[in-house]
Structure 1
Amino acid sequence: MGAVLPLLALRAFTETTRLGSLKAAAERMGVTPGAISQQIRQLEDRLGVSLLTRSRHGVQLTEAGAALYPGLLRGFGEIENALLDLDALVGASTLTISTQPSFASSWLVPRLAAFNALHPHIEVRVEATAQLVDLQRGRVDIALRHGLGDYPGLESIPFLAPVLLPVCSPALLAGGPLLREPQDCLQYPLLQEAERADWALWLQAHGVVADSRSRRGPSFDEDLLLLRAAVGGQGIALVQAQHAEEDLREGRLVVALDRPWPSRFAYYVVARREKLERPPVRTFIDWLGGQLAED
């Protein structure tokens, strides 16, 4: 192969095989699928063998690729572990947090000033993304995730059980039918989350037999988008109470009907067990508990 290893091409091949697609590998490496494909093609040309076959179902290893992949996976894993060890050594007071954009903007970030004032020696980095991060291999210390708390191979600590509230613009409520009972919400356009499940569950929790109307309406995959649609008068949104705090306080939204219902899900602190032993992580988790007590 020569003295100079084509590390970029080798990683492109490894990530494509591990994740099962050129697109996923491109997102992981921060490049385009075309760049990944070119790197793999150049690697195959250099080695003189075919490593992957491509089809509409994804990628499959050839015999040569299957022989090469396990060693590369171990090698890149060792490199990432070495870098993580170095990061833990030189950045012992740095804390990297991953969470969803809506939660970061509405709950976490407005409170971080208080944490920074109490712990100025800890440098906090917030990475706001709706995608799940690789806590086993990445540089993120902890993730704050909304779900059922089932994260194989990781520790999860519940810290916030949000409440769902129906909210809308004051203008929409003033110009529409009077809302007295939960079933009255069905007379308005309903703004849906991505799975179109929350409205039906909320109505059922209040004793309403939900019909097809409970799943109709435009859907959005983030509470921030639901809130903007509600502010624009497009319908009633069922959102987590803390996400709507600012809009309710500023009068852009009102509670359509004061019938909150605790969500099925909760927010969890998710991390590798060894990360939980880091002093900055323990400090941050203790601070979260204090914030909830104040709330």
Structure 2
Amino acid sequence: MTLPLRAIHAFVTTAQLGSMVQAADRLGVTPSAISQQIQQLEAHVGTRLFARVGRRIILNEAGERYFELIREEVERIDTATQQMRGISAAQVLNLRVAPTFAVQWLLPRLPRFMQDHPEIELRVDATNDPPDFEREAIDLEIRHGNGAWAGLHVESLAEERMLPLCSPDLAAAGSLDAHSLQDHRLLHSIKNLTGWSHWFAAVGVAPKPDLQRAHFDRAHMSISLAKAGAGIALESTLTAAAEIASGALVCPVKNPPDLTQRSLWIVGPPLHFGRRRPRRFIDWLRRELAA
């Protein structure tokens, strides 16, 4: 009996998205086509795979078991097909990049890489979700964290200096000391390895118990709020390089401590670092960082 591959693909996509409408949109067909494919598959395996709850459909017990049995194989076929599709597939470079670094630093510079390497088709996924390099077609990742990831090749991108930064409309450059800085709202990116407690410890000042604070899960949010005059952010001079260069952000503290961190890393399987396209990107990245 012929295996109904299109029906299986429709089933897996619907199970992943939890919606026939969304599955139809992803696969470029109508919802009725998805429904027919699933009915065909249910007839093929001899049991119902979905149950309807209100206006939603969910996997029933048999559907959950079938999905777990075939999911990895279907995803591997899909990944292999994407890798082989077209002659230009050999020139694709798939990157996963920490969102703030992508927005604040990488994207403004990527046109130079594309101009230097027109033969490489870039695909950039800006997310903090670590890839499964064995199952996903990701060549390299620029990851934010402490660099301790077993089984992967990890290279530090840069040593970042951490500075208090704010709009010059809030406080002029060098106009505050560590004590008067505490009269302003302090903005903090929770994913930063270095926080305000580290900064106050470096200057030898015990922070006041009633500090005004605001916390964000992305550094570019903290930077944006600082530019808007909402407070003083403690951020990397690498991440905020454009705002510092334009004068949109200044360091309001006289003689700030030399506080640094290493939180950005190039990550991937060791084999990937010897391949031509990843190597060209890494070499370009190193030149841009040095400049």
Name the TM-score class by shorter chain: 0.7 to 0.9
Note the C-alpha offset of 1:168.
0.8
Structure 1 partner of 2:73: 75
1:105 aligns to 2:103 (yes or no): yes
Letter in 1 for 2:47: G
Unaligned runs of 5+ in 2: none
Cα deviation for residue 198 of structure 1 reads 1.3
> 2:277 corresponds to which residue?
280
In 1, the alpha carbon distance for the partners of 2:128 and 2:188 equals 17
User: TM-score, structure 2 length as denominator?
Assistant: 0.73
How many angstroms apart in 2 are the aligned matches of 1:89 and 1:161?
A: 39
Change (3 A) 1:205 1:13: farther
CA distance, structure 1, for counterparts of residue 236 and residue 26 of structure 2: 32
User: Is 2:188 aligned against 1:187?
Assistant: no
Query: Quick one: which amino acid aligns to residue 281 of structure 2?
Result: F
- Paired residue secondary structure (2:95): strand
Deviation at 1:178, TM superposition (A): 4.9
TM-score, structure 1 normalization: 0.72
Q: Supply the distance in 2 between the matched residues of 1:231 and 1:208 (Cα, whole angstroms).
A: 26
TM-aligned CA distance change 1:288 to 1:209, over 3 Å: same
State the superposition RMSD in angstroms.
3.9
The amino acid that maps onto 1:193 is S
3-state secondary structure, aligned to 1:126: strand
- The Cα of 1:72 is off from its aligned counterpart by 0.3
- Aligned residue for 1:266? 263
- 1:142-221 to structure 2, matched below 5 A, reads 142-174=140-172, 178-180=175-177, 182-194=178-190, 198-213=195-210, 216-221=212-217
Instruction: Please identify, of 84-93 and 137-146, the stretch whose mean Cα deviation from structure 2 is larger.
Output: 84-93
Are the structure 2 counterparts of residues 267 and 45 from structure 1 closer, same or farther at C-alpha, using a change threshold of 3 Å? same
Match of 1:223 among 195, 213, 219: 219
* Residue matched to 1:237: 233
Shift of 1:84: 5.2
| In 2, Cα distance between equivalents of 1:128 and 1:117 | 21
Identity %: 26
Give the total of aligned pairs.
269
CA distance 1:226–1:30, change in 2 (3 Å): farther
The one-character-per-residue Cα deviations of 1:111-170 (angstroms, maximum 9, x if unpaired) are: 334433443332333333344444432333211111112335433222223221111111
Letter in 2 for 1:123: E
Give the equivalent residue in structure 1 for 2:249: 253
